[in-house]
Amino acid sequence: MKFIVSSSALLKQLQQISGVINSNTVLPILEDFLFLIDKNELTVVATDLETVMKVKLEVEAKESGRICIPAKILMDSLKNLPEQPLSFNVDMNSYAVEITSDNGKYKVMGENPENFPKEPAAEDATSFTMPSSAIVTAIAKSLFAVSNDDLRPQMTGVYFELAPESVTFVATDAHRLVKYIRTDVKCPSSDNFIVPKKPLNLLKAVLPDNESEIKVAYSANHFFVTHENAQMICRLIDARFPDYKVVIPKENPYRLILTKSDFQNALKRVSVFSNKSTNQVALSISGSELQLSAQDVDFSFEGNERMSCQYNGEDMQIAFNAKFLIEMLNAAEGDEISIELSTPTKAGILKPSDKGDNEDLLMLVMPLLLNN
């Protein structure tokens, strides 16, 4: 079997899916890409058994066939080649692969494609379409709040809550929560499932942030996303997501409005002096002035800053993890941010003042116990 492909086009597509491959895998075949040639189309597949990523690109080929090629050596060699057509010659009996460039020849030992894991079929799957930018934005705004605690698997992914006129994406690690709603998506039925963090991260890198359409499908155990030349399949998390609605306070009467960039920069400066295990920054709100203060008693570090704000409510002192606040501000669009508060021991709710079309973002953060 022989085919000719552009070196840079191949490298670009392989880089999009190589993140699936684990370096310390149990099965050696999982360190390979599966190459499938059908007429003048090459499909490359990578998997870690939980997630499957596929990309397609055009090649010159006279016959069809399949071969597994070790991913690392192929990627490393392509990174060092200038743009040029590469000729792949595969011996289907020994699985030896010979790659010919303008100036050289390289030989790699491939593996039997029959040993490559079969991908899950999309049987009995429910499908719908949505703009690519909707899922890319949802991932960017929610993924940072996903838990890394494997003892609570239900929190190690993003919860998709489907409704006929919208999709709600929820992520939480018990210290903070993000709820992001898209109203430009119509789902065939009300449903819910949890998608793991790793495949969503990979998906964000592969999908374009534009209005092109993607097909989303899900079955009892798997999640499928298909875009023009790329596809991702992953296993869903088999667990029940916590009831996030009971956590969100109904009444937070006090409202603090801040210029987002000023607040974020002040947090970055003051948090340098905070305790590194808690990242605690205390916010003292009095009238139209907000004071940020942090200290690390062990090293006698201390930082204080003042900034103006708009606030309607009783004077209050409340402490938060500055790292959490900074990440949340990154996810919020617009120039201003509003923080809804009630007491120093109850969760604060962050919302961007500018609401985008077809979207609604709410972020919740639990306070820390103040160091007095």
- Span 352-370, mean pLDDT? 90
Q: Could you read off the pLDDT of 162-189 as tens digits, one per residue?
A: 999 999 999 999 999 999 999 999 999 9
- pLDDT score recorded for residue 202: 94
Using the predicted structure, report yes or no on whether residue 254 has a pLDDT greater than 70. Answer: yes
Residues with Cβ within 8 Å of residue 359, at least 6 apart in sequence? 137, 180, 181, 182, 183
User: What residues have CB less than 8 Å from 114, skipping those under 6 apart?
Assistant: none
Write the pLDDT tens digit of every residue in 288-328. 999 999 999 889 999 999 999 999 999 999 999 999 999 99
Q: What is the pLDDT of residue 372?
A: 54
The pLDDT value recorded for residue 176 is 96
Q: Are 65 and 92 in contact (CB under 8 A)?
A: yes
Average pLDDT over residues 51-65: 94
pLDDT tens track for 267-299: 999 999 999 999 999 999 999 999 999 999 889
Q: How confident is the prediction for the chain on average, in pLDDT?
A: 94
Q: Which residue has the tokens 């009467």?
A: 253
Q: Are 225 and 127 in contact, with CB atoms under 8 Å apart?
A: no
CA 267, CA 261: separation in Å to the nearest integer?
A: 10
- Following DSSP, what letter does each residue of 281-347 receive, concatenated? EEEEEETTEEEEEEEEGGGTEEEEEEEE-EEES--EEEEEEHHHHHHHHHH--SSEEEEEES-TTS-
> What's the mean pLDDT in 71-95?
95
What is the structure's pLDDT at 124? 85
pLDDT at 119 over 70: yes
Residue 23 — pLDDT band, cuts 50, 70, 90? Answer: confident
Q: What is the mean pLDDT of residues 190-210?
A: 94
pLDDT of 371: 63
For 38-64, what is the mean pLDDT?
94
Mode of pairing for the β-strands spanning 316-321 and 280-286: antiparallel
Q: For residue 354, what pLDDT band results from cuts at 50, 70 and 90?
A: confident
Is 80 exceeded by the pLDDT of residue 263?
yes
- Would you place residue 355 in the very low, low, confident or very high pLDDT band (cuts 50, 70, 90)? confident
Terminal Cα distance for the chain, rounded = 73
| Predicted model pTM | 0.91
Phi, psi for 276 (deg, rounded to 5): -70, -20
Q: Pick from 280, 240, 237, 246: which is nearest to 177 by CA? A: 246
State the pLDDT at residue 343: 93
Give yes or no for residue 24 having a pLDDT over 90: no
